[in-house]
Structures are given as C-alpha cells and as structure tokens.
Structure 1
C-alpha cells in the first residue's frame, strides 16, 4: 500500500479560513486545505511554503502547528501535517477550480475530501 506524507495550510484571514476546490485527479470537485507532498530533503515547513507558492502563487507565514492526522483511503495511506498560516501576499488559484473564505459557521457548506474533515472538526473546536 502506497503511503503519502503531505502538508496542508490552514490559511486564516480575519475570522475566515481558505478552502480550495480540487481541479484535477481522483478528488476533483471536492474541497481541501491547500498543500501537497513533501519532497525528499525538505522539511515539512519548506514543503508547505513551496506547495502554496506552486498552487496559489502566494507567500505565507507559518504561524503554528495545528495537527497531524492519518487516513486510510482505498488506494493509499495518508499522513498529513497541518499548520495555521497567514498570507503575506495576494493569492491566485493555479491548480484549483475555486476557492472560498469560510467562517466557522460555514465550514460544513462545502463537500470536503474525507481526511480534511478531521481538520474541519479541529477548526470547529479551536477557532
């Protein structure tokens, strides 16, 4: 079974969180927290900064570690490290179909990728 170790950004602006809608692949159309795979030789934080630049053409500041989660999908096992971040530049969706800024009471308004629901639950308790 393939194992993926990825990082995700919980990007906060005012009292809202950025949700992005996948524009490709197995989970196309579902919503996620942006991020991606850690490359060989990269730290988690280096990977997250690179991934956000690639996906959103944005610079971020990593404010704090939020949570680690694990999820078993049919074809792979996911280990995801999530960090609360803030934007240091404008963003532009380069790989996603859509993006929304969601308040705590709006987090359930989109269809999240399964593993990301654990992040949503974390946010409901910690926002």
Structure 2
C-alpha cells in the first residue's frame, strides 16, 4: 500500500480553530486541517510553514506538536503529524480550498471532517481549555 506522510496545522486564534474545505479530488467538500506533504530534506515544521504559505498566503508560528495520526484510506496509508499553530500574519487567502471557517471547540462537529482529521478532533477535545486558547 502506498504511504503518504503529511503535516497539518491546527491554527488557533482566540478560542477558535481554523478549518478548511477541500475543493478538489475524491474527498471534495470534506473538511480538514490545512497542510500537506513533507518534501525531501524538510523537517515537519519547515514543511508546515511552507504549505501554509502556499495554501493560505499566511505566515504561521509552529507552536507545539499535538499528535501523529496513522490512518488507512482505501488507496494509501497516511501518516499525519499535527501541530498547534498561531498566525504571524492575520490575512488568510484560500488558494486551494473551497471554503474555511473558524470553529469553537463546541462547533467542531458542525462540519464533515476527513476520517484522519476526526482523530485530531479527539486530541483537541482532550486539551485543557487554556492550552487550546493559547493562554500560558
């Protein structure tokens, strides 16, 4: 089975988490955390900064490692390294996604998440409220 290794940004602003809707492919219209594939020679953190710059024209701070999700999709096995992040620049532009939303913890179930991202949602729910909001 093909193996794909990616990174995902759980971008926080206040008490909200940023979610994006896929605008292409087999999983079109499903929701995910932004990110993408790690290129040869990149650290996961470097890949995440590059991917968010490409996908959202935004600069982020990669703050804390959250989790690694291993998930078997029908055509491939996914390894997804997830990081809590914050915005360095406020403006976000959807270069690849169909839509985006800022969701509170209580609103996370209001969108149809990709299966692997559902595991990340569970990790987010387990976080202490002060950590998800970025309060020291």
- Alignment correspondent of 1:91: 92
CA distance in 2, matches of 1:15, 1:74: 34
Helix, strand or coil for the counterpart of 1:116? helix
Runs of 4+ with >2 A deviation:
none
CA distance in 1, matches of 2:112, 2:29: 9
Q: How far apart are residue 13 of structure 1 and its match? A: 0.2
- Alignment correspondent of 1:12: 12
- Alignment correspondent of 1:109: 110
- Alignment correspondent of 1:122: 123
Q: Structure 1: which 5+ residue stretches go unaligned?
A: none
How many aligned positions are there? 127
- Alignment correspondent of 2:37: 37
Q: Structure 2: which 5+ residue stretches go unaligned?
A: none
Taking structure 2 as the reference length, the TM-score comes to 0.92
Helix, strand or coil for the counterpart of 1:29? coil
RMSD over aligned Cα atoms: 0.6
CA distance in 2, matches of 1:93, 1:123: 24
Pairing 1:21–2:21 present: yes
Taking structure 1 as the reference length, the TM-score comes to 0.98
